[in-house]
Structure 1
Amino acid sequence: MTQNDEQDVRVQILNSFLTTPHRKLEELAPLHTGALERDPLFYGHLAPWYFEKGEVRDHKLLFVAHLATSDHEELRGAAWMLLQQLAPYEVARVLDHSKQVIGKTPRSLRSAITRYLKTREQNIRQFDGAALRARNDLKHLYASLRIKPGPRAQAILFDEQPPADSPLAALKQLAKAETAEEQALLILEQKIPYTTAVGAIKHVTPALLVALINAMSPQEVINNMAMLKRRGALDDKEVKALIDQKITASASDKRVSTLKAKKAIEAAQLDEETEQLLTDVTDQRVASRVEIKRPTALFVDKSSSMTKAVEVAKQLAALVGAVINAEFRVYAFDSAAFEVKASVKGKDRPALSDWEKAFKLIKADGSTSIGAALAKMLKDKFVAEQIVIVTDEGENTPPLFHNAYAEYVKEMHVAPSVIIVQVDGSNPSFMAGLQKQGIEVMRYQFRGDQYSVVNILPLMAMPSRAEMVDLIMQYPLPERPQRIMSVE
């Protein structure tokens, strides 16, 4: 394989991972199997990069499972280390996938899980917290691999006789408590997680809400905004202030999904102040991920049946707008094109809510001329180094894009790269025509929900695909400490 062929394979693998939506593990497994077979070295470096940059949890679990069952000792060692970062339910899913789908449970994977469990046993608070949230998953790990639990683990998980100082014992007391005040005190003292405590509560008071929210992680607060609203949490000044603190904290919490705040806004129909706070958190998290330095244009296909394209483009415009440090313009097109502008209202850059308003009246209708957007951009004399097109590629009306591109290059003396975010139908001849003309083009088949849109940003942030691959190859493979390896 030549160096160019090797680079092309790596680009293809990278494209696949950044554009594959959230689905069941077994549906994503062939992608990991193929990538590992085609280029095990790149796959190994891609795993720690994705752990830091990626947001689709299923991919992280599959990286661990497939690295752990590979034929390469270095990759098994990387899996050993990455597994230690997972939550108990995620480790259980890795084990099940390895056994049931891949058909392997190597000694190194058993060793990694043993170390994972024993490390938690040595930290009573960590183990008790894990047992509260994932008791069945922990039992599954011990039982499946026949790992002997320590005395405390045995009492909590298998004997159902938790020590008096454990939160699980407090949970039993919680169910028996006669007053909301008693319940609130138990939740606060024992730090009983919201998801565990809520089932034992009969009547919710403001004091109890404070205790519950204190026990919730920032992600749990965001996920349960609709429930908190129904319980009256947003109507009580003290409770509302606590919720706001949790939302603010989510901006720097790596465990929080970037676009979950947007989902909470849609589900809960929140007041304007809370909605703005959640929107600001989304923008802060997006801004912390990547930085786009190249002048960028986003073309939005609003022709007939392109309602989904308009929605995807709206999300993408907000994401790009939050991370770009260069000029950024958005054009919507059918047979003609116009610029879409989001007002900033005194802020440095538009927030997601501003783009929501800008796209509010854009409806899918008309025929398709992708070239019309480029012709409009040429008329505006906007110099773009990359163009992102959200479309089904079904161009059927002049000016055609490849003709408009040639004119743009001639007039503006710049040859922008093209990223196609392909939504719904497809027309392979569109991309083929661009490639034939020598245009640098990448194509993403968008099949996911709004959470997968954010995965497009890392490639947009790089000056070129080759540089992106080089950056990933600089991520070191995690290595098991030699002392641990010697006692396996």
Structure 2
Amino acid sequence: MTQNPPAEMDVRVSILNSFLTTPHRKLEELAPLHTSALENDPLFYSHLALWYFAKGEVRDHKLLFVAHLATSGYPEFREAAWVLLQKLAPYEVARVLDHTKKVIGKTPRSFKGAVAHYLQTRESNPRQFDGAAMRARNDLKHLYASLRIKPGPRAQAILFDEQPPADSPLFALKRLAKASTAEEQAQIILEHKIPYTTAVGALKNVTPVVLVALIDAMSPQEVINSMAALKKRGALDNPEVKALIDQKLAAAKTDKRVSTLKAKKAMAATKLDAETEQALTEVMDQRIASKAEIKRPTALFVDKSGSMSQAITVSKQLASLISAVTTADFYVYAFDTAAFEINVNVPAGKRAALSDWEKAFQFIKANGGTSLGVALAQMTKKKQYVEQLLIVTDEGENSAPLLADAWTAYKEAMQTAPSIVIVQVGGSYERLAQGLLARGVELTRYRFDGDYYSLPNVLELLAQPSRAELVEAIMGYELPRRPDLVPQGV
């Protein structure tokens, strides 16, 4: 006999599913989710914050965790927020501050102390502070002014007096604007690590010599973010400059700071040569592979019925994401009232890239009726064993076999009860969910609202044996403590 999980586990699974299935939106739109989770299960919420900082993809959630922990009534949570805030970039700290003031409605003294320490730490390292001031001058000014934190002499000179010291990059920026030769410009950029977006604003002409200096000073993420601008300036047409870009892209594969799907955005923003697109695809695959490993046999069902064009586009992305991290069997079916298995042709030992899935999906067009169960019925006939189903659909079905019936038949034939994750594209129908839950299906519904950056969240839904085990893993993340409050010898 199967025992039902305790009520507190049900609450935690519900909270977890909410976070993993909520795409990127404005901070104020996500705030009620954080407020509710903190109220319903504060202990789980605090551990979830630590886990999400390590595993999560949506930056807005990370900022909200800091804001809500920092303003909670629990001293331990405020201490954890103090530690987490130190990991943020200046513009992120500024967003957290604005959220605590404008949405939550309070900014505790402990939060001001955390920001003060954040600023003082950077002031104590002139190179770090100058780099932050170069990229986020207005955000730093906002932090000092809003919380009435007295800046140190260097911060005062750079941010408020507009008289940067002679050894600062901001002073060098003035020299850059006056430099008369490309060699002098390149030397200034390299010496002071002046960011690309800042430097180009001070230059009338960007020569190959200057491009080399700019790219050398850029992080791998900055190169990816600036790919369209670099191409526009001819960077990809110059062999020396292109070689340097290739080096940065190679480094991006193992750089933990690189966002998983920034490479996809770079490819969508501009038409690149095949070699560069392949390099960006490899970056994306490598970063995805570092996020999760799917060990359970999985099937992806793609609703290709009328008006489901977006579902097909989303499914290509998901197929690419999943195939990059799965170590188990992976099946892909497109369906309307019939089901069609989709296979990719790649050499043995090579993972299918997004371009491979684009080719595999090229003849799949949106038309026809909808039978959500037809693909699973076909897998039952073929004896294809899976433990979880990912279905991209608007949840409408108007033809047999229905999904609930096909799931029951599959369960009986294959002696397994696959969990189901539904990615809602274009609509939702509560009757479908109610019918599946009545059959005992472990169901998660993920609403896709057009934000492709949120899709890697789906991997976490598929990477664990069960939601309950993922909850247990999350509870294993210990709350951090401020270094100055940790007892000696601990």
TM-score using structure 2 length: 0.96
Match status 1:164 vs 2:171: no
* Counterpart for residue 351 of structure 1: 353
Separation of aligned partners in 1, 2:60 and 2:324: 26
* Counterpart for residue 27 of structure 2: 25
**Structure 2: unaligned runs, 5 residues or longer:** none
Separation of aligned partners in 2, 1:72 and 1:352: 45
* Counterpart for residue 429 of structure 2: 427
Indicate the SS of the match to 2:456: helix
Corresponding residue to 1:253 among 252, 255, 265: 255
Matches for 1:130-279 after TM superposition, within 5 Å: 130-279=132-281
- CA contact 1:20–1:447 (8 Å) conserved in 2: no
**Partner amino acid for 1:313?**
S
Indicate the SS of the match to 2:398: coil
Matches for 1:319-334 after TM superposition, within 5 Å: 319-334=321-336
Query: 1:376 deviation in Å?
Result: 1.4
Matches for 1:88-487 after TM superposition, within 5 Å: 88-483=90-485
Task: Please identify runs of 4+ aligned residues in structure 1 that moved more than 6 A.
Answer: none
**Partner amino acid for 2:446?**
Y
Stretch moving more, 9-18 or 110-119: 9-18
Indicate the SS of the match to 1:278: helix
Separation of aligned partners in 1, 2:261 and 2:479: 29
* Counterpart for residue 62 of structure 1: 64
- CA contact 1:222–1:247 (8 Å) conserved in 2: yes
Query: 1:347 deviation in Å?
Result: 4.4
Identity of aligned residues (%): 70
Separation of aligned partners in 2, 1:223 and 1:452: 18
Indicate the SS of the match to 2:253: helix
Query: 1:440 deviation in Å?
Result: 2.0
Separation of aligned partners in 1, 2:329 and 2:224: 32
Separation of aligned partners in 2, 1:53 and 1:448: 21
Q: CA-to-partner distance for each residue in 1:237-293, whole Å, 9 max, x for gaps?
A: 110011011111112222221011011112111111110011011111111111111
Query: 1:390 deviation in Å?
Result: 0.8
Query: 1:425 deviation in Å?
Result: 1.0
Residues 350 and 474 (structure 1 numbering): CA distance in 2 closer, same or farther, change over 3 Å? Answer: same
Separation of aligned partners in 2, 1:459 and 1:426: 19
**Structure 1: unaligned runs, 5 residues or longer:** none
Indicate the SS of the match to 2:6: helix
Q: CA-to-partner distance for each residue in 1:270-320, whole Å, 9 max, x for gaps?
A: 111110011011111111111111111111101011111111111111111
* Counterpart for residue 35 of structure 1: 37
Corresponding residue to 1:44 among 40, 43, 46: 46
Query: 1:215 deviation in Å?
Result: 1.7
Separation of aligned partners in 2, 1:280 and 1:445: 28
Indicate the SS of the match to 1:444: strand
- CA contact 2:333–2:375 (8 Å) conserved in 1: yes
- CA contact 1:20–1:448 (8 Å) conserved in 2: no
Query: 1:446 deviation in Å?
Result: 1.9
Indicate the SS of the match to 1:442: strand
**Partner amino acid for 1:315?**
Q
Equivalent pairs counted in the alignment come to 484
- CA contact 1:417–1:441 (8 Å) conserved in 2: yes
Separation of aligned partners in 1, 2:330 and 2:476: 30
Separation of aligned partners in 1, 2:260 and 2:479: 26
Query: 1:336 deviation in Å?
Result: 0.1
**Partner amino acid for 2:397?**
E
**Partner amino acid for 1:308?**
Q
Q: CA-to-partner distance for each residue in 1:323-356, whole Å, 9 max, x for gaps?
A: 1110101000000001011111354221121111
Residues 230 and 261 (structure 1 numbering): CA distance in 2 closer, same or farther, change over 3 Å? Answer: same
Query: 1:481 deviation in Å?
Result: 2.8
Indicate the SS of the match to 1:389: strand
Separation of aligned partners in 2, 1:437 and 1:158: 65
Query: 1:3 deviation in Å?
Result: 6.6
Separation of aligned partners in 2, 1:366 and 1:304: 5
Query: 1:483 deviation in Å?
Result: 4.3
Query: 1:217 deviation in Å?
Result: 1.7
- CA contact 1:338–1:376 (8 Å) conserved in 2: no
Indicate the SS of the match to 2:447: strand
Corresponding residue to 1:76 among 75, 78, 82: 78
Separation of aligned partners in 1, 2:413 and 2:142: 65
Separation of aligned partners in 1, 2:17 and 2:200: 42
- CA contact 1:121–1:153 (8 Å) conserved in 2: yes
- CA contact 2:200–2:206 (8 Å) conserved in 1: no
**Partner amino acid for 1:101?**
V
Residues 80 and 323 (structure 1 numbering): CA distance in 2 closer, same or farther, change over 3 Å? Answer: same
TM-score using structure 1 length: 0.97
Indicate the SS of the match to 1:419: strand
Separation of aligned partners in 2, 1:372 and 1:483: 59
Query: 1:36 deviation in Å?
Result: 0.8
